[in-house]
């Protein structure tokens, strides 16, 4: 008879490795936030491949070699926590949130049932409750999603289910032509979500925006009427608070009036701008958000909670989220469990296993309090103000528009192009400036900032200071560095 074979219990489990790797993590990752070090260490892909030994092999490797890999991984990764990393809508290394992320990884559980995630089921509810409170809802529902894009897709699915509950069973063939309304400035996940949910990208109708990038309620009203007269069913308006490029806020009161009048679900994509709700000074930007039916809000962006931390929140108190998504798997959500089944929240999700995303935010919130988070938001907005004022004092910095939030959009006009506005190739040449300056800063490793063309505008920089560790000196450095890197263009 063949003997059962068990794994060798004497093999090295890697306890020493873990201890030393955590030390490297503490030292090297935290060193990445030191402004005396580079933001990034640029390598061409071939060069990087020749330095890093990425090949997976038959044999295992010893501890010291593995620790070397860990150091190299840190060395050649972009330091997103660096105070001069302005490239994305996130930046910074909050030590409490980081601890929450490490704990989450170490405990390696899934958020679906109270049975396997007792603490996190209760914690998620508390965090969601608090976020809803800042929206102005004292009741409601919600769930953490892997990102704002997914939260927006949830909104599409929920709004459709709300109008046509039978479609969960009968599918698309039972539905009329459904249409979504959003602005030109909205995030691409709205159209992506329309494709994913079977609504179709052609059935996303773009509403006009004003010169500040804000949706025009009168145009929304007209377009809803027109769609209805053509036999389509408008079922969702996706407004944006804090658009991705220019940071504009749609006028929610006006949009809510139109949605109420037509009986259409109002979703607010506040993935980026939602954190302004924590600031008494700036929450007016989202005036009317309490009238929304659902909201997407990413604490992983402005609050620096770390990826992923994105909440999808609903005003509904009837259990719509669960009714819309539940599949009642008998092996996971048994109905004869010994505890209150209300605490098995996993069937609200379209996922099965779901990462714990609440702990990093919860721990950071406990450490800073709402007051500390408010200071972060206020700090980010005042940094942007400072940069605007400094740009006005310097030659060559042209604002694309006065910032409403922390998206500071500007062109840098190098000396050779100044006073050339009349020449026919002026805009073509200006459009080449940002990519060149960007290439130079990355190769030097001095800082990182994003650029893009937008509508009919040629490439401009989008500067975003959300890192709580960025100082006035970093902002001065930013302006000086753009001048240094662009002076000869």
Ligand X SMILES: *Cc1c(COP(=O)(O)O)cnc(C)c1O
| Residues in touch with ligand X (CB under 6 A) | 89, 147-149, 187, 189, 240, 242-244, 269, 271-272, 298, 310
User: In the complex with ligand X, which residue's Cβ is closer, 153 or 430?
Assistant: 153
39 Cα distance to chain centroid: 21
Helix (H, G, I), strand (E, B) or coil at 295: strand
Q: Which does 176 bind (CB under 5 to 8 A by kind): ligand X, ligand NAG, none?
A: none
Distance from C-alpha of 66 to C-alpha of 72, rounded to nearest angstrom: 10
Which two structure tokens, joined as six digits, stand for 100? Answer: 């929450």
CB of 39 to ligand X, least distance (A): 21
Q: How far is CA 281 from CA 277, 300, 319, 379, 380, in A?
A: 9, 21, 34, 11, 12
Per the structure block, which two tokens stand in for 417?
A: 């192009």
Q: 187-198 in b/e burial notation, b at 16+ Cβ within 10 A?
A: bebbbebbeebe
Residue 157 binding result from ligand NAG, ligand X, none, given CB thresholds of 5 to 8 Å by partner type? none
The entry of ligand NAG, ligand X, none that residue 147 binds, CB within 5 to 8 Å by partner kind:
ligand X
Binding at 353: pick from ligand X, ligand NAG, none (beta carbon under 5-8 Å per type): ligand NAG
CB nearer to ligand NAG: pick between 14 and 455: 14
CB of 302 to ligand X, least distance (A): 10
x/- binding map, residues 50-89, to ligand NAG, per CB under 6 A?
A: ----------------------------------------
Q: Is the alpha carbon torsion for 82, 84, 88, 94 positive or negative?
A: positive
CB of 285 to ligand X, least distance (A): 13
359 Cβ contact list (under 8 Å, min separation 6): 100, 101, 103, 104, 120, 123
Q: 452 is in the binding site of which of ligand NAG, ligand X, none (Cβ under 5 to 8 A by kind)?
A: none
One residue of 108, 139, 173, 340 binding ligand NAG per CB under 6 A: 108
**Minimum CB–partner distance for residue 237 and ligand X (Å):** 15
* Site for ligand NAG contains 110 (CB under 6 A): yes
Residue 20 · residue 63 · CB < 8 Å:
yes
Find the shortest distance in angstroms from Cβ 349 to ligand NAG: 15
Q: Do residues 373 and 278 lie in contact, with contact meaning Cβ atoms separated by under 8 Å?
A: yes
Numbers of helices and strands, H then E, in the chain: 16, 12
Of 280, 277, 463, which Cα lies nearest the Cα of 386?
463
Out of 353, 369, 435, 453, which residue is the one contacting ligand NAG (CB under 6 A)? Answer: 353
Minimum CB distance to ligand NAG, residue 10 (Å) = 20
Tell me how long the chain is: 489
Which chain residues interact with ligand NAG by CB under 6 A? 108, 110, 353
């Amino acid at each position: 008879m063949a003997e059962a074979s068990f794994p060798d219990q004497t093999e090295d489990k890697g306890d020493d490795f873990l201890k030393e790797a955590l030390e490297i993590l503490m030292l090297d990752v935290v060193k990445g936030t030191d402004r005396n070090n580079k933001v990034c260490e640029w390598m061409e892909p071939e060069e990087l491949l020749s330095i890093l030994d990425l090949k997976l092999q038959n044999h295992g490797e010893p501890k010291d070699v593995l620790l070397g890999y860990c150091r190299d991984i840190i060395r050649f990764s972009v330091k997103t926590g660096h105070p001069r990393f302005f490239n994305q809508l996130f930046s910074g290394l909050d030590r409490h949130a980081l601890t929450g992320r490490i704990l989450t990884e170490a405990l390696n559980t899934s958020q679906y049932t109270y049975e396997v995630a007792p603490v996190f089921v209760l914690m998620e509810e508390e965090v969601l409750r608090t976020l809803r409170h800042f929206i102005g809802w004292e009741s409601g529902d919600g769930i953490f999603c892997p990102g704002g894009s997914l939260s927006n897709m949830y909104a599409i699915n929920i709004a459709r289910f709300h109008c046509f509950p039978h479609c969960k069973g009968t599918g698309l063939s039972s539905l009329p032509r459904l249409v979504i309304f959003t602005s030109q400035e909205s995030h691409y996940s709205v159209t992506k979500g329309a494709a994913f949910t079977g609504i179709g990208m052609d059935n996303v109708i773009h509403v006009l925006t004003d010169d500040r990038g804000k949706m025009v309620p009168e145009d929304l009203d007209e377009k809803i009427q027109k769609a209805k007269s053509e036999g389509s069913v408008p079922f969702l308006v996706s407004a944006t608070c804090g658009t991705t490029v220019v940071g504009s806020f749609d006028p929610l009161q006006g949009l809510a009036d139109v949605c109420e009048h037509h009986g259409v679900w109002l979703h607010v994509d506040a993935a980026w701008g939602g954190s302004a709700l924590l600031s008494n000074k700036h929450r007016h930007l989202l005036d009317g958000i309490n009238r929304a039916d659902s909201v997407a809000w990413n604490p992983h962006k402005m609050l620096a909670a770390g990826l992923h931390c994105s909440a999808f929140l609903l005003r509904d108190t009837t259990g719509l989220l669960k009714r819309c998504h539940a599949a009642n798997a008998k092996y996971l959500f048994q109905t004869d469990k010994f505890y209150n089944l209300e605490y098995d929240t996993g069937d609200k999700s379209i996922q099965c296993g779901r990462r714990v995303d609440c702990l990093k935010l919860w721990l950071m919130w406990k450490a800073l309090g709402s007051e500390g988070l408010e200071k972060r938001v206020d700090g980010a907005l005042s940094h942007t103000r400072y940069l605007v004022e400094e740009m006005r004092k310097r030659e060559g910095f042209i604002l694309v528009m006065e910032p409403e939030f922390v998206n500071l959009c500007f062109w840098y006009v190098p000396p050779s192009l100044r006073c050339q506005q009349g020449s026919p190739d002026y805009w073509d040449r200006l459009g080449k400036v940002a990519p060149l300056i960007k290439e130079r800063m990355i190769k030097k490793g001095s800082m990182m900032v994003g650029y893009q063309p937008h509508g009919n505008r040629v490439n401009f920089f989008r500067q975003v200071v959300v890192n709580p560790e960025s100082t006035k000196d970093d902002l001065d450095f930013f302006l000086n560095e753009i001048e240094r890197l662009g002076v000869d263009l």
